């Protein structure tokens, strides 16, 4: 095997694993099919991947060599059943690589990227297989296919065409090369960002440097220093759970600047972790592939199967929101500059000042103290609030699973039970930061839901966050922004857990990118609704509910800083579209291009784009290239969708909840996304509620 020498050099010894020694080659003998994390070792992955690839190849050959005329059952259903072992090992490996990685895993991923890319291309560009799919597609009217079956068939046909099935053999080989290169480059981009994030630290040794920091932020810095082996020191990092509190409260402007620049220069330090050349290579390859497949740009290719359909329609929506957002952001910057002058200072407001003065103005204008508010948002209470909301809407409950070995001590598992007592899913939460975990928050599945020809598989879903750990004798206390993040990811989780599709190809979150954020973002509306906050927000010491006075302040401050929040995000979405609608990258200077795009938009100097190019993981390492706009597109859907509840006068309205569950959460991508929204809402979405919610109307 050609990978053997490399693996041996890495110390990842391939062993001949019998069915009793490699957990991936045996049935997971527990009630919920939870991966046996305590039995999985690094040596198990590569043999399982290789066996999985071998098995799927054999399954594909069986389909191709079937002497019966191609039909939906012997071609499409057979394809959906294939690759089970490969999905099994991939699900564990890549979820752990994101949430609890190590150096060996990162090195193995570099070997696997081209290996799996090659395998996937061999399937996607298999002429005989495509001809069978094409025959079924062209003869679909001869079969009595239901809506989901027809959707799955169309997706297979279009996927093969979009993968290059209609190209010449020479072009197919070039597509394979491009896919292999991209798999390696995008992986390297993400690894560089993670390593850069873990490498930077602001080490303080003088108590005077802590001026303005609340007790919990000081304690966080102390414990971070102790973890690194530093005595009499405090450490702050560019992990957001450390970065944002420091920027919000530190009176030391010079230290705020140092930490902020450490964050915004990730991947842009002209060293071994610099991402600028990787970006150029990624963009050139994406454009080459799009052109070969007949598309004007990568954006046109990427948007074909979305709700938006085209970059022109995306930009039209973005610019409608950009102009009022920028106007409001300028007004917010003016208020901050005025405060600076009123304090007797004469410096110009800069990006590292924004969080600090936003907090001061919020306190002055609304009397809202985020640190005080966070005392009512203990992580466990907020999580239970998310669980209780699901109970109120659909009767589902969450029961802790005891005596199960999970992949880290911070992870907890729950059985999800439907109102009728039926098992729905397993749900895991992993909320605290560590160096082995990527930044941000996300949802994924160890096992996806399916029910192919009544062979039911219920999902195992997990949510990951990077919230502040319990420290100084206090539990994990969340900011309100983190509260909405927890509810957001739980919404993704519900989309996976409540799925009732037959085929994994369309189950759960397998929906267009600009629809996938709808089920997550709609949950944020309940998280911030004064009526529901009272249900879950309890003081971590007294257990008293959050007082009405504090809730009133939170509600009044609801549109505060929304100019900044929206502009910061929109600038990133527009930068993404600008990159991916370009067609020539030969002379690309990443920093110059980024600067020109933002200058043309009129982005003010006081605000930095949410993700600068060199650490824009969503588009250069994740799956959101030409798709970062999806959050605002889904924002229109989620605010309009929540209005369906509010219009009834009951935010738990059972009729609306049933419509939402049956037409969105259970359907996955089994029908057209717009059709599903219309079935739920009764009409197409309108942006009025979004503009009102953000105070942009």
Rg (Cα) of the chain, in Å, rounded? Answer: 25
The separation between CA 688 and the C-alpha centre of its own chain, rounded to angstroms, equals 26
348-386 pLDDT tens trace: 999 999 999 999 999 999 998 888 999 999 999 999 999
- Shared domain check, 207 and 161: no
What average pLDDT does this structure show over 49-75? 98
Please say if the pLDDT value at position 22 is more than 70. yes
How high is the pLDDT of residue 65?
97
- Full-model pTM: 0.85
b/e per residue 654-680 (b: at least 16 CB within 10 A): eebbebbbebbbbbbbbbebeebbeeb
Contact yes or no for 71/379 (Cβ under 8 A) = no
Q: State the pLDDT confidence band at 692, using cuts at 50, 70 and 90.
A: confident
- Shared domain check, 227 and 88: no
How high is the pLDDT of residue 623?
86
What average pLDDT does this structure show over 389-405? 96
How high is the pLDDT of residue 8?
33
How is 477-490 classified by DSSP, letter by letter?
B--HHHHHHHHHHH
How high is the pLDDT of residue 687?
86
Mean pLDDT of the chain: 94
In a domain, 118, yes or no: yes
Q: State the pLDDT confidence band at 412, using cuts at 50, 70 and 90.
A: very high
269-327 pLDDT tens trace: 999 999 999 999 999 999 999 999 999 999 999 999 999 999 999 999 999 899 999 99
- Shared domain check, 60 and 131: yes
Q: How far apart are the first and last CA of the chain?
A: 62
How high is the pLDDT of residue 433?
92
Burial of 437 from C-beta contacts in 10 A (0-12 / 13-18 / 19+): buried
Tokens 């954006």 locate to 299
206-259 pLDDT tens trace: 999 999 999 989 999 999 999 999 999 999 999 988 999 999 999 999 999 999
- Shared domain check, 385 and 486: yes
What average pLDDT does this structure show over 498-519? 96
In a domain, 42, yes or no: yes
Q: State the pLDDT confidence band at 446, using cuts at 50, 70 and 90.
A: very high
In a domain, 310, yes or no: no
Q: Which of 56, 148, 149, 489 is catalytic?
A: 489
132-173 pLDDT tens trace: 999 999 999 999 999 999 999 999 999 999 999 999 999 999
Please say if the pLDDT value at position 30 is more than 70. yes
175-206 pLDDT tens trace: 999 999 999 999 999 999 999 999 999 999 99
Indicate the number of domains in the chain.
3
What average pLDDT does this structure show over 433-455? 94
Q: Which of 94-98, 395-399, 637-641, 688-692 bottoms out in mean pLDDT, i.e. has the lowest?
A: 688-692
556, 555, 535, 538: which is closest to 546 by C-alpha? 538
Enumerate residues 6+ apart whose C-beta is below 8 A from 109. 93, 94, 97, 187
The question of whether 489 is a catalytic residue gets the answer yes
Question: Edge to edge, what strands does the sheet with 412-417 contain?
Answer: 397-400, 412-417, 423-430, 460-464, 442-447
Contact yes or no for 414/399 (Cβ under 8 A) = yes
Q: Which of 25-34, 93-102, 483-492, 514-523 bottoms out in mean pLDDT, i.e. has the lowest?
A: 25-34
In a domain, 645, yes or no: no
Please say if the pLDDT value at position 16 is more than 80. no
What average pLDDT does this structure show over 554-575? 94
In a domain, 342, yes or no: no
Please give the Cα distance from 637 to 322 (Å, whole number). 18
- Shared domain check, 221 and 155: no
Please say if the pLDDT value at position 17 is more than 80. no
Among residues 264, 281, 297, which one ends one of the domains?
Answer: 264
Domain that holds residue 223: 200-264
In a domain, 138, yes or no: yes
- Shared domain check, 92 and 18: yes
How high is the pLDDT of residue 439?
84
Percent of the chain scoring above 90 in pLDDT: 91
Please say if the pLDDT value at position 6 is more than 50. no
- Shared domain check, 233 and 120: no
- Shared domain check, 506 and 386: yes
599-619 pLDDT tens trace: 999 999 999 999 999 999 999
Cβ neighbours, 10 Å, residue 535: 16
- Shared domain check, 40 and 125: yes
Q: State the pLDDT confidence band at 33, using cuts at 50, 70 and 90.
A: very high
354, 363, 377, 565: which is closest to 479 by C-alpha? 377
In a domain, 194, yes or no: no
Percent of the chain scoring above 70 in pLDDT: 97
Please say if the pLDDT value at position 15 is more than 50. no
Please say if the pLDDT value at position 72 is more than 80. yes
616-643 pLDDT tens trace: 999 999 889 999 999 999 999 999 999 9
- Shared domain check, 446 and 493: yes
Among residues 216, 231, 264, which one ends one of the domains?
Answer: 264
How high is the pLDDT of residue 311?
97
- Shared domain check, 155 and 11: yes
Contact yes or no for 239/469 (Cβ under 8 A) = no
DSSP classification of residue 181 = H
CA neighbours closer than 13 Å in the CB half-sphere of residue 83: 14
DSSP classification of residue 305 = T
The CATH number of the domain holding residue 107 is: 1.10.1370.40
- Shared domain check, 162 and 206: no
Please say if the pLDDT value at position 656 is more than 50. yes
In a domain, 26, yes or no: yes
CA neighbours closer than 13 Å in the CB half-sphere of residue 259: 29
How high is the pLDDT of residue 369?
87
Among residues 235, 264, 293, which one ends one of the domains?
Answer: 264
Select the more confidently predicted residue: 657 or 3.
657
């Amino acid at each position: 095997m050609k990978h053997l020498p490399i693996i041996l050099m890495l110390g990842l010894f391939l062993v001949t694993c019998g069915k009793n020694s490699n957990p991936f080659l045996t049935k997971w003998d527990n009630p919920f099919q939870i991966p046996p994390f305590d039995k999985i070792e690094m040596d198990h992955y590569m043999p399982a991947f290789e066996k999985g690839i071998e098995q799927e190849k054999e399954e594909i050959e069986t389909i191709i060599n079937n002497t019966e005329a191609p039909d939906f059952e012997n071609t499409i259903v057979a394809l959906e059943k294939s690759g089970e072992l490969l999905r099994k090992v991939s699900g564990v490996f890549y979820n752990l690589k994101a949430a609890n990685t190590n150096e060996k895993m990162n090195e193995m991923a570099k070997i696997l990227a081209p290996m799996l890319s090659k395998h996937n291309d061999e399937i996607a560009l298999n002429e005989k297989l495509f001809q069978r799919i094409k025959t079924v597609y062209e003869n679909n009217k001869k079969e009595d296919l239901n809506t989901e079956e027809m959707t799955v068939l169309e997706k297979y046909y279009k996927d093969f065409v979009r993968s290059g099935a209609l190209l010449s053999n020479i072009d197919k080989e070039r597509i394979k090369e491009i896919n292999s290169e991209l798999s390696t480059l995008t992986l390297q981009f993400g690894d560089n960002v993670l390593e850069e994030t873990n490498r930077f630290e602001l080490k303080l040794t003088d108590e005077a440097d802590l001026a303005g920091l609340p007790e919990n932020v000081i304690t966080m810095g102390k414990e971070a220093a102790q973890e690194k082996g530093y005595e009499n020191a405090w450490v702050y990092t560019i992990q957001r759970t450390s970065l944002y509190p420091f920027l919000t409260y530190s009176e030391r402007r010079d230290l705020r600047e140092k930490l902020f620049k450490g964050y915004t220069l990730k991947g842009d330090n002209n060293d071994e972790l610099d991402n600028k050349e990787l970006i150029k290579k990624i963009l050139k390859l994406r454009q080459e592939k799009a052109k070969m497949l007949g598309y004007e740009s990568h954006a046109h290719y990427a948007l074909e199967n979305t709700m938006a359909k085209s970059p022109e329609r995306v930009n039209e929506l973005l610019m409608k929101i950009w102009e009022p957002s920028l106007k409001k952001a300028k007004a917010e910057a003016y208020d901050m500059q005025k405060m600076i002058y009123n304090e007797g200072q004469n410096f110009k407001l800069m990006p590292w000042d924004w969080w600090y003065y936003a907090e001061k103005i919020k306190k002055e204008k609304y009397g809202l103290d985020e640190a005080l508010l966070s005392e009512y948002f203990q992580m466990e209470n907020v999580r239970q609030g998310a669980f209780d909301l699901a109970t109120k809407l659909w009767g589902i409950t969450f029961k802790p699973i005891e005596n199960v070995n999970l992949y880290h001590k911070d992870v907890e598992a729950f059985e999800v039970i439907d109102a009728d007592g039926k098992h729905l899913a397993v749900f895991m939460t992993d909320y605290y930061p560590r160096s082995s975990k990527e930044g941000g928050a996300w949802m994924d599945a160890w096992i996806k839901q399916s029910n192919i020809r009544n062979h039911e598989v219920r999902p195992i879903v997990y949510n990951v966050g990077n919230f502040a750990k319990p420290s100084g004798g206090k539990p994990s206390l969340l900011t309100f922004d983190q509260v909405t993040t927890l509810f957001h990811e739980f919404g993704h989780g519900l989309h996976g857990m409540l799925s009732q599709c037959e085929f994994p190809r369309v189950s759960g979150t397998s929906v267009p990118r600009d629809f996938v954020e709808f089920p997550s973002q709609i949950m944020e509306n309940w998280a911030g609704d004064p009526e529901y906050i009272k249900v879950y927000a309890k003081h971590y010491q007294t257990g008293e509910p959050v007082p009405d006075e504090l809730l009133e302040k939170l509600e009044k401050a609801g549109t505060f800083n929304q100019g900044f929040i929206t502009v910061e995000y929109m600038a990133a979405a527009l930068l993404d579209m600008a990159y991916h609608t370009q067609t020539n990258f030969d002379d690309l200077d990443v920093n110059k291009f980024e600067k020109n795009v933002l200058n043309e938009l009129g982005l003010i100097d006081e605000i930095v784009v949410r993700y600068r190019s060199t650490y824009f993981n969503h588009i250069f390492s994740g799956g959101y290239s030409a798709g970062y706009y999806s959050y605002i597109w889904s924002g229109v859907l989620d605010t309009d969708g929540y209005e369906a509840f509010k219009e009834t006068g009951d935010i738990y309205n059972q009729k609306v909840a049933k419509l939402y569950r049956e037409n969105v959460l259970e359907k996955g991508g089994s029908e057209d996304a717009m059709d599903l929204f219309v079935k739920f809402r009764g009409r197409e979405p309108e942006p009025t509620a979004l503009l009102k919610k953000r105070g942009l109307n």
